Every structure is written in structure tokens, then in C-alpha cells.
Structure 1
Amino acid sequence: MENLEESLSENLSESARVAKIFHEVMMLFRQNMTKVFEDIGITAHQGMVMGILSREKTLKITELSARLNLSNSTVSGIIDRLEKQGIVERNRSEEDKRVVHVSVSPKFREHHQFFHKRMDENFASILNKGTPEELKKIYEGLETLKKLLSIRDEKKAQE
């Protein structure tokens, strides 16, 4: 019984260490991404909206809000600023005038390409500092984490 308790304690301790380092990496990633967004003249939230719209093309404000885990009014303000920059367009639904769809504008595509170029350059400058062995370890670790997170999501979906 003592060995089981020790094993559980060690696993919890190891899990806490993984969670702590993951949190630290996420904070550094967020800071780094904020700088990339600033370089192209947008905020991090605006960049997240652009990322979602680049994949989905058109979404309702409520759908964007849910994806970003932000209130409708906050997302609406973000959309206001992006619309002023000519990056997104709003369209009211013909069936229900209360529903607003947001879609990318042609200018968005230019920003999107520039943003991806800057992101690639940013990651290249960071990752070029690592050895091939370090990069392989990072890749393998991230693949393992992705797999573990996917398993958790699959179990939730089955419940």
C-alpha cells in the first residue's frame, strides 16, 4: 500500500512539473506571438480572430465569441476595429436581421500572407538556435502531449 501511495505521489508531482513547464512555455509563446502581432499592426485578439476566419471564411459573431471564449460585445469591438482596417466585412442575415456574419475581405488575404511569413521567420529564428537533437525531442514531446490531450477529448466525447 505504501508503494502505491508513493507511486501516486510521484505521478502527481511529475504531472505538476509538466503542467508548470507547459504553462511557462505557453506564457512565453503568448508573449512572442503578441510581438509578432504588434509588428503587423494588430492585437493578439485580432490575430486570433483572423486565424479563425482564415479557416472558416464566414462565422456569426456568436460563433466567434464561443471559439474565443470571449463575450459577444468584446468580439464585436474587435470586429469593429478590424472592419475599420478593411480586414473583415460584416453582413446581416437576410432571414434574421439580428444575426451578423463576419467574413474576410480581400485585404485580409494580404495580411494573412504577411502574418504567416512573419510567424515563419519568428519561429525559424527561435528554432535555429536548437540542435537537431533538441528539435527532435521537442517535436516528439509535443506529439506525445497532443496524443494525450486527444485521448482526453475522445473520452469526453464518448460520455
Structure 2
Amino acid sequence: MIDIGLSKMAMIGAVALIVIGPEKLPRVARTVGTLLGKAQRYVADVKAEVNRSMELDELKKMKDSVESAARDVQNSIQTSASAFEKDWAAATDFSGSADADPQEPQAAVVPAYKHPGKNWRVKRGAVPQWYKAKSGVRTKALSGAARVARYRPQKFH
């Protein structure tokens, strides 16, 4: 950048005062300041855009490497899963053939897994009522009309 010191700034100011005149100098200074601000913002925007494009390229490269690693892991899992399924099928092959030994125990039929689901009543009931009252948790919902009726100021007779 251009090295502008205090003495050079004073020299530029004196020349500007002589050339432009004292009446127009404040307006010209404001205009120059505005233009310099716009130029600085434009340069900052260009720098930010270049940085964003560089980061985007890096992220694309990283994404490609992660996707290839994920594909490799998926392929290895599929091959090991197919080998496991073959071994499992061979180990659990309980075909009820007629030549099977009656003394040998037969495999029990295992029911399919059923997710227990979420029981929100049990979860809500786990917090004691005294704690709910102390912390201000509402245990009963009021409708709008019931809330107005409850909190309406009483008339004094």
C-alpha cells in the first residue's frame, strides 16, 4: 500500500484547501470518504467471495472423500453381513425332518420383537406433584374462558 504519513496528509489538505476552496472542501471530503468506504466494502466483499469459493472447493473434496469412505465401509459391511447370514442360517437350520432324533430338543419359536412404544403418562407420573407445584409446572390446562373467569378481579360491594 501507499505509505502516507502525517506530513503528507497535511500537504494534501493544504493543496486541497487552496485548489477547492474553503466553502466546498467539507462537501468534497464527505464525498471522498463515502467513495472510499464503498471501495473498501467492495474489496471486502470480493475477498469474502474468493474465500467462500475456496472453502466450497475444499468442502467438495472432503465430501467426496467421506462419500468414498462410506461406500467402502458399506461394501465391507454388506460382504460381512452376507457371510454372517450364511453362517447364521447354517447354525439355526432346524428343519423338522423325520430322521431327526426325538430326544434332541427342538428350537422354540421366538416371537418377533415389538417396540414397547412411548408411554407419556408414565413419564409424566415420574415427577412428584410437590416438585411440579414448587417449580410452577401446570398440571391442569385451563381453557381461555375458564382462565378469564378464574383471574377476573372480584367486585367489592
TM over 0.5: no
When the two structures are superposed, what TM-score results if normalisation uses the length of structure 1? 0.27
When the two structures are superposed, what TM-score results if normalisation uses the length of structure 2? 0.27
Task: Determine which structure has greater relative contact order: mean sequence separation of CA pairs < 8 Å that are 6+ residues apart, divided by chain length.
Answer: 1
Larger radius of gyration, structure 1 or 2? Answer: 2
Structure number with higher strand proportion: 1
